[in-house]
Amino acid sequence: MYRSGGSAGPSDEGGPGYSQPALDSFGTPLREVVFCVVDLETTGLAADACGITEIGAVKVKGGEVVGEFSTLVNPGESIDPRVTRLTGITDEMVADAPGIETVLPMFLEFAQGATLVAHNAGFDIGFLRHACELTDTRWPRPPVVDTVVLARRLTEKSEVPNRRLGTLARLFGSPVTPNHRALDDARATVAVLHGLIERASGHGVVTDAELGEFCRAIPSELQNRKRHLADGLPQGPGVYIFRDADDRALYIGVSVNVASRVRSYFSAAEQRRRLRDMLASAERVEVVECAHRLEAGVAELRLIAGGKPPYNRAAKFPEHRSWVRLTEEPYPRLQVSRKPPAPGTPRLGPASGTQAQAAIGAIEAALPIRSCRTRLSPKRMSPTCVLGEIGRCAEPCRHTVGVEEYAALVERAARAMDGDPAPIASAVGERLAELAASERFEAAAERRDELGAYLALAAASQRVRHFVAAGEMVAAGRAKGGGWEVAVIRHGILAGAVRTPPRADPMPYIAKLRETSRSVEPAEDVLDAAHAAEARLLLDWLGRPEVRLVLVEGTWATPLAGAERLAGSVPHDPSSWRREPSAW
């Protein structure tokens, strides 16, 4: 886990990037400061809802590496297949790794007394601080340097198109290429840090105190003028809504401490131009107080879907999600649609348009279902296309198959969406093996990505459908400070929420909550993308280790032949594509 380098002596006076500090300088000369450059890999983006999967850190002093720290971490939850595709870290890799309660004290000991450095430090430090909260560990409050902030002040658009780690690593000649693995990314950040410090020295920055001041932006006059909007807000969980003079919602956010979060918009740390523009129009902040963070998260989803605030990112709007569905015509085809399919019809989704199109590619690679958009008639023939000529389509355009025979093919496509994905995986796997055998690895990689997207989407769609069909369930999670965070869920919708007092019997509160919770119409599947987003949020919460099921009315189960058993199983190693697909 640890690897120590040789001890680093002080660099020569007047060496590159460092200059002799004046007698009246305050702080420690940068050549004497110990920096601990850290990078994390995680299961997602939200520190209070996701786990750490890997920590990598490099300790440097005077331009020399004095130690390294690296370990995988068991996050206590499944890793999203999309994250696995980005980092290469799988559930199997972290299964035997230590938990954060074991790793965190070791890392804090390694970093003790050092200035922490990270690229986009708010992300990494946010996860570390949340890990301290979860493990009842005191956060040591070390000095922090963000290389993104430094890069914004010390690089120009003419030399770098953006301030991503990979871009800056190339600019400063890092010997290590960032690859979304913690230690390698930390090593690349070391090279970026040294390059930025060298540039900062030209601005008279020679001590850690001066570096901190150089990084610290001054709050704008606008932020100071609007600071009063944060006055008197509650300190518990809830949703905050910035509204303009016409009472229109500009931006909607969620926090476990609304007052603290809203105050952060008026601090020097908030430099996002989009939110600065929002503050210029904001006249008041409305708060919807919630029983606990789950209810707050659901309330945020509902308010964003209903209010369409212009400063929230478009990715949060459910109507921008896509579905895979079958068209309604004599010779149906698969299509990507923003309109949710009718209840009870085969579907995959909702998902991004890119993932939906990739899933269609996998099904079409396994089945000779037509992909052309021509409106075909069973009474007259239409021109054929190249896919028919090479055997990739059943050619209903030429009436090579009748309506009934083609319907059987469509039924197989429907089962690929709602049932067992194994026939699709097997057929695409055989194609992968053929491409790999002929060393067409680029084409094989495209088919692999399509298959991975299909399996992940099928698993997510089926998981949500079975959850919604289960009916009513009650669950409770341990609350920080004591008590329980209780949720009544009905057909994938949060119907009621309460937090019970510490040391109180939760059952009377649960009984009363069930009586007063919202009535929900029975459903066998999600009704639209907003319903799906809420159901997925609830499922993520139910999967947390501190959450317990109290009761389930109905049946909540996943079929053995469902897609979850295959999701994430597509091999990345080209040599494995030559094996029999059944071996996967």
User: What six digits make up the tokens of 428?
Assistant: 């695409």
**What is the pairing mode between strands 284-289 and 484-490?**
unpaired
C-alpha to C-alpha distance for 474 and 455, rounded to whole angstroms: 30
What DSSP state is assigned to residue 556? -
Strand (E) or helix (H) holding 182: helix 182-201
User: What six digits make up the tokens of 15?
Assistant: 């060496």
Count of alpha carbons within 13 angstroms of residue 469, beta-carbon side: 14
C-alpha to C-alpha distance for 461 and 359, rounded to whole angstroms: 12
C-alpha to C-alpha distance for 336 and 46, rounded to whole angstroms: 29
- Locus of tokens 């698993």: 459
- Return the bridge partners of 130, or none: none
End-to-end CA distance of the chain: 31
Distance of CA 350 to the CA centre of its chain: 16
Burial of 298 (0-12, 13-18, 19+ CB in 10 A): buried
Greatest CA separation for the chain: 94
Residue 390 carries which side chain, given as an amino acid letter?
Answer: I
Question: Are the beta carbons of 172 and 166 closer than 8 angstroms?
Answer: no
Phi-psi region of 183 (alpha: psi -120 to 50; beta: other; left: phi over 0): alpha
Question: Are the beta carbons of 330 and 509 closer than 8 angstroms?
Answer: no
Backbone dihedral angles phi then psi of residue 250, each to the nearest 5 degrees: -95, -40
Question: Are the beta carbons of 237 and 257 closer than 8 angstroms?
Answer: yes
Residue 180 a catalytic site member: yes
Residue whose C-alpha is closest to residue 513's, from 494, 525, 502, 498? 498
Distances in whole angstroms, Cα of residue 565 to Cα of each of 230, 463, 499, 570: 48, 11, 35, 11
Question: Are the beta carbons of 578 and 437 closer than 8 angstroms?
Answer: yes
**What is the pairing mode between strands 115-118 and 144-146?**
parallel
Catalytic residue among 130, 180, 194, 228: 180
Q: Count the Cβ atoms, other than its own, within 10 Å of residue 569.
A: 13
Distance of CA 542 to the CA centre of its chain: 17
- Locus of tokens 């050549």: 31
C-alpha to C-alpha distance for 560 and 558, rounded to whole angstroms: 6
Question: Are the beta carbons of 478 and 546 closer than 8 angstroms?
Answer: yes
Active site residues: 180
